[in-house]
Amino acid sequence: MQKMTKDAEPQSDGSAPRSHLMRRLWAQFLSPYRGRLGLAFLFMVALAAAELGFVLLTEWIFSGLQPNENSRFHAAARDVMVWGPVFVIVLGLAQALFFYLSAITSQNIAVRTLRDLQRAMFGRITELDLAQSQDDGSGQLISRFTNDMTVLRESLTRAPNGVRDLVRLAGLVGALAFLDWVLFLSVLIIYPTIGLPITWLGKKIRQLGRSVQRQIGDMTGLLSETLRGQRMVKTYRLEEQERARLGEAFDERYTLLNRLIRIRAANEPVVTVIGAIAIAAIIGIAAFRIEAGFMTGADLVAFLVAMAMLSQPARGLGTLNSVVQEGLTALERVFDVLDRTPAISDAPDAKELSVPNGQPPEIVFDRISFGYGDGPAVIEDFSLTVPAGATVALVGPSGAGKSSVFNLIPRLYEAGSGDIMINGLPVRQMTIGSLRDHIALVSQDAVLFDVSAGENIGFGDLSADQPAIEAAAHAAAADEFIAGLPDGYGSAVGEGGANLSGGQRQRIALARAFLKDAPILLLDEATAALDAESERLIGEALIRLSEGRTTLVIAHRLATVRHADLICVMDKGRIVEQGTHDELVDRGGLYARLAALQFREEVPA
């Protein structure tokens, strides 16, 4: 385990230290934009210089209008009348220009960084194991792209303002020291008191921000679940219950946001009140200094102008604190995703799986045991040989562990003990890429993306051309209905394939598997009832698809099982029987009972 440095120790509020987050943001995401950052900084310095010029100009103007022997400048009233307005306009223009240039340069860096963070985070999520990316629920992950990015954008665009305000502050503080050092020292004593309450408020804001963001993630999950389940909600008349469930989430969000509003609103008044006390003290001290002849009226005017100009960057820095605190909370959650490492990865000496001439390989399960996470074993002592080119059906009651066996073959999950071997090579010793290249999976919930029908098939082989896609569709008996769609292969299938029927979605998924043309085929037969015509078309396509491949099929219908070379009956994670349909029926065990049940259901139909 990595040794914890003092800096890396969690703070009392349980979060990572801020400096650590900022250093990491710099090293990984900001440092590539060093050049642009330097340019932005230059514009900020130029802006601060223009402001400084303005303060000195004020003193010059007043020394001309109210001559005093103690004055630093001895300007002639005539010069002030002619040149004063000109200088004011020139300096005003310079301020405006440098303000604009520094804003666009620094904010451009902010949005670039945001883009890089999103890319990195999504890249990492795609690398994670199924178990890891499903741990949070999709709502939590999606909220890192939506809510957290919005918060981060606010922080990243406002943080450069903070740097700009610091530079301006430095310039103006220099002017104050130059104008009268005693007054300046008084300011130095009075102003840091502003920092204390602001730091305390910032910490509170950070804690609340974290709760708000977590809650939004939960709510996104709830919303997407309810909206996806509209059909069920309506038919079971659960509208009232769903309104209440979401209502609770909305109430919780209201309470959290309301607390956040109050704390954020307190920030600004605190700064204003302390600022007013400071100014009052300064005027009092200055009166004594002028009376004693250490200062002139022009000095005081310039000093007050500088103080007034200073209040803007000082306030900016005050409110910046809260925005940065919220941004850091969001950043923490982004880094949390970036820091996850996939538990299933290539072994250092992993080999490429290759099957000679695409010949179907033999698959051997050797005493496999497996459980999800820390949960109980859902597969125990599972041993099975699937001969090269054979079709083996897995049957058994719901929850027997059939889908879990499927998950282990492409290493979506890793077996706890035992080995799965393909042509004698354990899957753990292969590169995951080469293993998955040899497997086509057709799951019962045909997964379609919201792109065209042709593109959905094309995911089987990204290099395939249109004729290859059409040939695959033809083999999967999908070409006719696709041709009938408004734009043929270019027709959008809708979110999750919503524009298509269940049978059509299945055939698109089959066409994708045909296109992939992998030597190992994993078929999870659809449990949803299809019409007789779809079932016949899909059944025939499945038989064509499994020809010349080593096929494992989770079978829910006897029609599929009859074609299998071997039927493996599972119950409670174990194999309880193996054999052909006729052998198993004769044996009169679990399979015979399942078969009898299914026949009884199917005969009246």
Ligand X SMILES: Nc1ncnc2c1ncn2[C@@H]1O[C@H](COP(=O)(O)OP(=O)(O)OP(=O)(O)O)[C@@H](O)[C@H]1O
Nearer to ligand X, 376 or 424 (CB): 376
- Phi, psi values for residue 385, rounded to 5°: -115, 125
Say whether residue 399 binds ligand X (CB under 6 A).
yes
Say whether residue 153 binds ligand X (CB under 6 A).
no
Say whether residue 378 binds ligand X (CB under 6 A).
yes
Nearer to ligand X, 175 or 405 (CB): 405
Please, what sign has the CA dihedral across residues 404, 405, 409, 411? positive
Q: In whole angstroms, how close is the CB of 569 to ligand X at the nearest point? A: 11
Q: Which stretch binds ligand X (CB under 6 A): 53-61, 87-95, 402-410, 431-439?
A: 402-410
Say whether residue 312 binds ligand X (CB under 6 A).
no
Q: How many residues sit in the footprint of ligand X (CB under 6 A)?
A: 11
Q: Which stretch binds ligand X (CB under 6 A): 347-355, 392-400, 425-433, 500-508?
A: 392-400
Let me know: does 527 contact 487? Beta carbons within 8 Å. no
Q: Rule CB under 6 A: choose which of 403, 443, 578, 598 binds ligand X.
A: 403
Rounded CA separation 173/186 (Å): 12
C-alpha dihedral (304, 305, 306, 312), degrees to nearest 10: 110
- Phi, psi values for residue 485, rounded to 5°: -75, 155
What is the longest distance spanned by two Cα atoms in the chain? 121
Say whether residue 337 binds ligand X (CB under 6 A).
no
Two structure tokens written together for 393: 């059906």
Rounded CA separation 77/506 (Å): 90
Say whether residue 411 binds ligand X (CB under 6 A).
no
70-108 as b/e: b if 16+ CB within 10 A: ebebebeeeebeebbeebeeebeebbeebbebbbebbbe
Q: In whole angstroms, how close is the CB of 529 to ligand X at the nearest point? A: 15
Please, what sign has the CA dihedral across residues 76, 80, 81, 82? positive
Two structure tokens written together for 148: 């957290």
Would you tell me the crossing angle of helices 138-145 and 297-338 to the nearest 10 degrees?
A: 150
Q: In whole angstroms, how close is the CB of 167 to ligand X at the nearest point? A: 54
SS3 of 426, please?
Answer: strand
What is the DSSP pairing of strand 377-386 with strand 566-571?
Answer: unpaired
Nearer to ligand X, 363 or 400 (CB): 400
Say whether residue 415 binds ligand X (CB under 6 A).
no
Q: Rule CB under 6 A: choose which of 149, 309, 400, 500 binds ligand X.
A: 400
Nearer to ligand X, 288 or 372 (CB): 372
Q: Rule CB under 6 A: choose which of 100, 236, 288, 372 binds ligand X.
A: 372
Q: In whole angstroms, how close is the CB of 404 to ligand X at the nearest point? A: 3
Nearer to ligand X, 488 or 502 (CB): 502
Give the Cβ contact number of residue 523 at 10 Å: 24
Let me know: does 318 contact 194? Beta carbons within 8 Å. yes
Q: Which residue has the tokens 């033809």?
A: 474
How many residues does this entry show for the chain? Answer: 605
Say whether residue 410 binds ligand X (CB under 6 A).
no
Rounded CA separation 286/271 (Å): 22
Say whether residue 401 binds ligand X (CB under 6 A).
yes
Read off the amino acid at residue 436.
Answer: R
Q: Which stretch binds ligand X (CB under 6 A): 250-258, 295-303, 356-364, 372-380?
A: 372-380
Q: Rule CB under 6 A: choose which of 404, 452, 456, 546 binds ligand X.
A: 404
Let me know: does 460 contact 440? Beta carbons within 8 Å. yes
Rounded CA separation 43/57 (Å): 21
Q: Which stretch binds ligand X (CB under 6 A): 95-103, 395-403, 417-425, 468-476?
A: 395-403
First to last CA, the chain: 62
Rounded CA separation 485/324 (Å): 52
Say whether residue 604 binds ligand X (CB under 6 A).
no
Say whether residue 402 binds ligand X (CB under 6 A).
yes
Nearer to ligand X, 106 or 407 (CB): 407
Q: Which stretch binds ligand X (CB under 6 A): 46-54, 399-407, 459-467, 483-491?
A: 399-407
Q: Which stretch binds ligand X (CB under 6 A): 52-60, 87-95, 371-379, 506-514?
A: 371-379
Two structure tokens written together for 18: 């801020």
C-alpha dihedral (62, 63, 67, 69), degrees to nearest 10: 140
Nearer to ligand X, 162 or 401 (CB): 401
Read off the amino acid at residue 490.
Answer: G
Nearer to ligand X, 315 or 572 (CB): 572
Q: Rule CB under 6 A: choose which of 12, 258, 357, 398 binds ligand X.
A: 398
Q: In whole angstroms, how close is the CB of 113 to ligand X at the nearest point? A: 35
The contact set with ligand X (CB under 6 A) reads: 372, 375, 378, 396, 398-404
